[in-house]
Amino acid sequence: MKTATYDELYDDMVPDLGGKCTQPLMLKALQNAGRRFCKKTEAWIEQLDPVNLVSTQREYVLDWDDCATVARIVEVRQNTAAGIAAGNKGAITKERFYEWDGDETLTFLSGGVPSYDVTNGLEVKAAFFPHRQTCTIGEKVLEKYCDGILGWAMADLLSQNKPWKNLERALYFQQLRNVDVNKAMQEKQRGYKMDSTVRG
């Protein structure tokens, strides 16, 4: 997964916080904001590295970067050797044909168990949120929703009873946050509608 670091946003925070708020406090606010933003919107979606399909095997262990947690499995596909060779996506496996344990194990149920061995045949897309202590977040998420994450962090900081408190500016940043949250939620809903024709 390609990630970006929160310290890219420090320069945007300093004008309102001045030298009164330390970088560790700014980082903590950004960590909380990034985590909450991704949990609420599912804006951080990544395609995991493909896994080998094994005939009649039900359980598969998924792998991803340690900086994040899977919030939800968005899509499961099973591909064929011919499909991979042709550069095609695999066929979607409907949700009723698999279970996810909330950690790293995906289990196929009756009707979803693979019938053939296929190298890199299991293709999984997942929604992530960053860990509490990590300094990184999905690169595309930060690029696309920078204002929303920054707005969430700044609204929290400027609402605190600290020397940098400024409720008028906090309201401004809340509005930035809300615009990007709404935008991300609309994209999520569009994704559901696009998938509805194949999910069954």
The pLDDT mean for the chain works out to 92
CB 68 within 8 A of CB 129: yes
- In order along its 200 residues, the chain shows pLDDT tens digits of 889 999 999 999 999 998 889 999 999 999 999 999 999 999 999 999 999 999 999 999 998 877 899 999 999 999 999 999 999 999 999 999 999 998 899 999 999 999 999 999 999 999 999 998 999 999 999 999 999 999 999 999 999 999 999 999 999 999 999 999 999 999 988 875 444 433 33
pLDDT of residue 188: 85
Helix (H) or strand (E) holding 123: strand 118-130
Cα-trace Rg, the chain: 20
Q: Give the position of tokens 């340690």.
A: 66
Going by C-alpha positions, the residue among 49, 114, 119, 124 that lies closest to residue 84 is: 119
Interatomic CA distance for residues 42 and 184, integer angstroms: 8
Interatomic CA distance for residues 81 and 115, integer angstroms: 13
Going by C-alpha positions, the residue among 190, 2, 198, 196 that lies closest to residue 89 is: 198
Interatomic CA distance for residues 149 and 29, integer angstroms: 10
Q: pLDDT tens for residues 52-106?
A: 999 999 999 998 877 899 999 999 999 999 999 999 999 999 999 999 998 899 9
Give me the numbers of helices (H) and strands (E) for the chain, helices first please.
6, 10
DSSP 102: S
Burial of 25 (C-beta count, 10 Å sphere; 0-12/13-18/19+): middle
Burial of 2 (C-beta count, 10 Å sphere; 0-12/13-18/19+): exposed
